[in-house]
């Protein structure tokens, strides 16, 4: 046997999709048009839930109704407080044979407003944020921001806000120093380039002038509040009843002359949310009942009752089991879950934080992450060989391009996903998702071929 033949038989290397399957480029290109649209429509978890429900109802899903006896192929969804969503397609075998679960998250790092955010300083009106999730604060200065969220009024009415997204709408911004005066700031550690309390968001600079020549203390703040009141009928006190998220105002774009990448805010983890949704919608008559989970609060530890460290998914599994006369414990024990989340794509500019043989790469397909965590795999789910075997074989049998990936080299850092919370329900789970460049930045990059192959992986998993 020649060395080349033996090499082919015994050794393994992940191929570059565009080299091995160039025909996928057009398919990926077309698939990502819908993906970019989803990113533009859903910049908060609430907006993602709304957009997803519109997609699901269009595809024949109905809100779960415990009085209906569901048949194979029936499609339902559960809306958890407008901030998390679960969709299911009933399988031809009962739940006790196991569910095919797939959990992505729809919250992304951002600047949340504090409960008392409005202030004036030096004749400028500002909003004060408290950042949400792991951001690199210095990246958020001089980025055009849009205002998204809800405000509760005294009468209980919830007012929805989206400002800065449509052509011609005003946007908002955090300032940074000019280089000429930045000598002291330049000497700071990068993590303190912009400090948490320096992320003040400009919302106005014109004072309110009364009818007489009256003097009030903060006329610019008053003017900003007047404009908000005219638009939304709110007063300053209403901010205490609000959830307002300041997010990058720009739209998703093609990156590169070859248009091979999508650049956008919030791809972690709406990329897995979109591909999972699309796969569930495309699944017509699955063997196992599917469960597509779009969770909130992953970026702050899956806390709260819309995050996966709560029992809401368990309760949904109980709904399904009650409806199908199945045992919940057996169902969970036999279920498999993909914890669908992004991983760090190898970045040649910052090569030293990766271990090259175990990093994920753009254009090599979806990334299967056996373990996350930090130091000695601390905080990791660490999927079993049996679970890896199941998922890898499924992908191989269905021609899905996939790769493995660690979140950086040993002891460089680390992170976690929803995987460990799913495992707490006694479900086999492994992380799978899309490699991302500049993860958690206001503008993240993903390869269209990887997005498309993640969709293909989910279709193979569900079918
Ligand atoms: Mn994520
Ligand atoms: Mn994240």
Alpha carbon of 94 to ligand 1 centroid (Å): 31
Alpha carbon of 298 to ligand 1 centroid (Å): 7
Report the percentage of the chain scoring pLDDT > 90: 95
Alpha carbon of 299 to ligand 1 centroid (Å): 7
Alpha carbon of 352 to ligand 1 centroid (Å): 22
Alpha carbon of 341 to ligand 1 centroid (Å): 5
Instruction: Pick the ligand that lies closest to the CA of residue 342.
Output: 1
Alpha carbon of 154 to ligand 1 centroid (Å): 35
Instruction: Pick the ligand that lies closest to the CA of residue 105.
Output: 1
Alpha carbon of 301 to ligand 2 centroid (Å): 10
Alpha carbon of 269 to ligand 1 centroid (Å): 5
End-to-end CA distance of the chain: 40
pTM of the full predicted structure? 0.97
Q: What is the mean pLDDT of the chain?
A: 97
Alpha carbon of 292 to ligand 1 centroid (Å): 16
Residues within 5 A (CB) of ion ligand 2: 268
pLDDT tens readout for residues 276-335: 999 999 999 999 999 999 999 999 999 999 999 999 999 999 999 999 999 999 999 999
Residue 213 has pLDDT above 70, yes or no: no
| Token output for 111 | 């600047």
Alpha carbon of 419 to ligand 2 centroid (Å): 13
Confidence of residue 359 (pLDDT cuts 50, 70, 90): very high
Q: Give the SS3 label for residue 317.
A: helix
Alpha carbon of 166 to ligand 1 centroid (Å): 27
For the segment 360-382, the average pLDDT, to the nearest whole number, is 93
Residue 179 has pLDDT above 70, yes or no: yes
pLDDT tens readout for residues 225-256: 999 999 999 999 999 999 999 999 999 999 99
């Amino acid at each position: 046997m020649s060395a080349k033949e033996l090499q082919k038989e015994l050794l393994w290397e992940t191929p570059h999709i565009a080299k091995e399957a160039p025909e996928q480029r057009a398919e990926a290109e077309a698939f990502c048009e819908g993906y970019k649209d989803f990113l533009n429509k859903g910049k908060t978890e609430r907006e993602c839930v709304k957009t997803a429900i519109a997609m699901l109802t269009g595809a024949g899903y109905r809100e779960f109704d415990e009085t209906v006896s569901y048949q194979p192929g029936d499609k339902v969804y559960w809306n958890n407080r407008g901030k998390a969503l679960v969709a299911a397609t009933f399988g031809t075998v009962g739940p006790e044979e196991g569910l095919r679960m797939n959990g992505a998250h729809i919250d992304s790092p951002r600047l949340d407003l504090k409960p008392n955010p409005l202030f004036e300083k030096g004749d400028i009106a500002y909003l004060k944020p408290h950042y949400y999730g792991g951001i690199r604060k210095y990246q958020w200065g001089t980025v055009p921001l849009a205002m998204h969220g809800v405000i509760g009024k005294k009468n209980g009415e919830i007012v929805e806000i989206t400002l800065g997204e449509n052509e011609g709408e005003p946007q908002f911004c955090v300032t940074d120093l000019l280089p000429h005066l930045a000598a002291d700031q330049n000497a700071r550690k990068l993590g303190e380039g912009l400090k948490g309390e320096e992320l003040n968001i400009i919302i106005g600079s014109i004072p309110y002038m009364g009818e007489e020549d009256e003097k009030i203390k903060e006329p610019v703040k008053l003017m900003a509040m007047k404009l908000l009141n005219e638009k939304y009928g709110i007063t300053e006190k209403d901010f205490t009843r609000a959830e307002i998220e300041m997010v990058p105002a720009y739209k998703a774009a093609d990156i590169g002359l070859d248009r091979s990448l999508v650049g956008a805010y919030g791809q972690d983890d709406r990329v897995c949310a979109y591909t999972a949704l699309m796969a569930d919608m495309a699944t017509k008559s699955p063997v196992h009942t599917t469960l597509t989970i779009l969770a909130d609060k992953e970026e702050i530890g899956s806390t709260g009752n819309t995050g996966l460290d709560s029992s809401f998914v368990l309760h949904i599994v109980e709904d399904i089991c009650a409806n199908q006369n199945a045992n919940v414990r057996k169902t969970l024990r036999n279920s498999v879950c993909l914890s669908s989340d992004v991983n760090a794509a190898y970045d040649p500019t910052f090569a030293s934080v990766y271990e090259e043989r175990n990093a994920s790469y753009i254009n090599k397909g979806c990334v299967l992450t056996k373990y996350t965590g930090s130091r000695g795999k601390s905080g990791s789910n660490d999927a079993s060989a049996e679970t890896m075997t199941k998922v890898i074989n499924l992908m191989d049998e269905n021609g899905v391009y996939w790769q493995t990936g660690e979140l950086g080299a040993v002891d460089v850092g680390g992170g976690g996903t929803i995987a460990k919370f799913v495992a707490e329900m006694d479900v086999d789970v492994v992380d799978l998702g899309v490699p991302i460049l500049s993860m958690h930045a206001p503008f993240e990059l993903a390869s269209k071929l990887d997005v498309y192959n993640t969709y293909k992986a989910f279709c193979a998993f569900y079918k």
